[in-house]
């Protein structure tokens, strides 16, 4: 650790990211440890005031692994801010010229940023993991779920955050403007899921399938699995109980991670792949194109086509899809609006690239 802080590149990047580390630590603390403490206090109070109150010891599992995306969005937003701060100087003419005139290789610059990002995110998660571990063993008698829920939760969320950061870094190596890269990267991660959903829609409309069709349901499940943002989501195991009138009432018994080991392996592989690609690509950047919207010409073409197809899909859904579920789909109209939208989107992207590269 001492050798890291003696590195001038690392020290320069750490100065701008230490406050991000603090902010992320506070957000993660607000998300789980604080909420867990308040929830337990509330449950104890209810038990004290109401003698008929049944204390469900699975509350901790439901709080920790239950569905809550709001705090995750905040964490990802902070990671985007971290990436902007790390690359802001390198994409400005004066700082860029100064850095590249010093005895640092581009590989050194990129590796330094990756190290700082990994350290910043890992410290925030580690601190909150330790706090929640102490909370768990301090209140073990009121918690019925396994301690393994805590390391599982923090490990998969840490790895996803590192993957998200690494993908942002990868995009920064290809996009010349740091703010544009920070916007494009999160959207790009969602595009495969959007495209797969659109293909399934075309199959459904073309074959006249209902939403309850077994084939369509299987395809729809595959589409949901293609959304990388859902990799940290959990699965609820239901518990059926009989109500006072004899009817079956469903309750969520506990939350678990499906295919946890596979998800961990996928995230580790993605982190390594995008880190290596970021270093290799940044090493090949030409200084005269550092302020272009898209640094590499082949990527510029992919960007234009990607924007075009996305605009085409949106326009075909607005103007080509049937307005009511019982209506028969006009497939030629869908394909025509898709084509027109793709052409419009392509030229819009072309104008944006030209305008931003002045």
- 220 and 248 in a single domain? The answer is yes
Place of tokens 């495209």: 195
- 105 and 254 in a single domain? The answer is yes
Is pLDDT above 70 for 233?
A: yes
- The whole-number average pLDDT for the span 262-282 is 93
Place of tokens 């086509």: 305
Q: How far is the C-alpha of 358 from the C-alpha of 355, rounded, in Å?
A: 6
Query: What tokens were used for 141?
Result: 């008698």
Q: How far is the C-alpha of 121 from the C-alpha of 101, rounded, in Å?
A: 30
- 169 and 258 in a single domain? The answer is yes
pLDDT in tens, 62-107: 888 886 665 678 899 999 999 998 888 665 555 555 555 566 677 8
Is pLDDT above 60 for 246?
A: no
- 156 and 228 in a single domain? The answer is yes
Is pLDDT above 60 for 241?
A: no
Helix axes 149-174, 70-88, angle to 10 degrees: 40
Closest CA to 313 of 341, 350, 348: 341
Closest CA to 220 of 188, 192, 197, 203: 197
- Select the more confidently predicted residue: 243 or 143: 143
Quote the pLDDT of residue 178: 78
For the chain, what percent of residues have pLDDT higher than 70?
Answer: 84
- Residue 182: which residues within 8 A CB-CB, separation 6 or more? 80, 83, 84, 168, 172
Place of tokens 């937003």: 77
Please report which confidence band the pLDDT of residue 213 belongs to, taking 50, 70 and 90 as the band edges: confident
- 84 and 191 in a single domain? The answer is yes
Quote the pLDDT of residue 235: 81
- 116 and 228 in a single domain? The answer is yes
Q: How far is the C-alpha of 267 from the C-alpha of 163, rounded, in Å?
A: 6
Quote the pLDDT of residue 52: 76
- 70 and 196 in a single domain? The answer is yes
- Residue 309: which residues within 8 A CB-CB, separation 6 or more? 195, 342, 345
- Select the more confidently predicted residue: 92 or 195: 195
The boundaries of the domain holding residue 119 are: 2-295
Place of tokens 């867990």: 36
For residues 153, 159, 165, 167, the Cα torsion angle rounded to the nearest 10 degrees is: -130
Quote the pLDDT of residue 287: 63
DSSP secondary structure letters along 255-294 = EE-TTHHHHHHHHHHHHHHHHHHHHHHHTT--GGGTTSSB
Mean pLDDT over each residue of the chain, to the nearest integer:
83
Q: What is the SS3 assignment for 248? A: strand
Quote the pLDDT of residue 357: 66
- 273 and 195 in a single domain? The answer is yes
Strand 235-242 with 248-256, pairing: antiparallel
Q: What is the CA radius of gyration of the chain?
A: 25
- 290 and 264 in a single domain? The answer is yes
pLDDT in tens, 110-130: 888 999 999 999 999 999 999
- 244 and 144 in a single domain? The answer is yes
Quote the pLDDT of residue 270: 95
Query: How many domains does the chain contain in total?
Result: 2
Per-residue burial over 269-278, b = 16 or more CB atoms within 10 Å of its CB, e = otherwise: ebbeebbebb
- 92 and 160 in a single domain? The answer is yes
């Amino acid at each position: 650790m001492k050798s890291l802080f003696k590195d001038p590149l690392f020290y320069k990047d750490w100065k701008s990211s230490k406050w991000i580390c603090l902010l992320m630590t506070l957000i993660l603390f607000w998300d789980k440890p604080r909420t867990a403490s308040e929830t337990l206090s509330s449950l104890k109070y209810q038990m004290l005031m109401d003698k008929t109150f049944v204390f469900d010891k699975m509350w901790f599992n439901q709080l920790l692994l239950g569905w809550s995306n709001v705090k995750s969005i905040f964490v990802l937003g902070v990671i985007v801010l971290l990436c902007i701060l790390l690359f802001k100087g390198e994409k400005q003419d004066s700082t860029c010229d100064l850095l590249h005139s010093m005895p640092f290789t581009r590989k050194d610059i990129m590796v330094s940023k990756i190290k700082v990002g990994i350290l910043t995110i890992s410290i925030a998660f580690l601190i909150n993991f330790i706090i929640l571990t102490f909370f768990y063993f301090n209140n073990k008698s009121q918690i019925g779920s396994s301690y393994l829920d805590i390391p599982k939760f923090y490990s998969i969320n840490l790895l996803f955050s590192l993957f998200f950061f690494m993908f942002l870094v990868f995009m920064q190596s290809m996009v010349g403007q740091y703010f544009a890269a920070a916007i494009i990267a999160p959207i790009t991660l969602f595009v495969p899921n959007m495209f797969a959903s659109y293909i399934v829609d075309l199959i459904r409309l073309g074959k006249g399938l209902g939403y309850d069709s077994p084939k369509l349901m299987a395809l729809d499940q595959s589409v949901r699995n293609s959304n990388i943002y859902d990799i940290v989501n959990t699965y609820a195991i239901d518990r059926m109980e009989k109500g006072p009138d004899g009817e079956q009432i469903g309750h969520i018994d506990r939350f678990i991670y499906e295919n946890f080991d596979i998800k961990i392996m996928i995230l580790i592989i993605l982190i390594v792949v995008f880190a290596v690609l970021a270093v290799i690509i940044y090493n090949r950047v030409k200084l005269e194109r550092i302020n272009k919207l898209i640094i590499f010409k082949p990527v510029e073409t992919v960007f234009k086509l990607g924007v075009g197809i996305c605009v085409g899909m949106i326009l075909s859904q607005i103007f080509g899809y049937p307005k009511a579920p019982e209506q028969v789909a006009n497939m030629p109209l869908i394909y025509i609006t898709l084509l027109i939208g793709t052409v419009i989107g392509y030229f819009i992207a072309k104008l944006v690239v030209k305008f931003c590269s002045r």
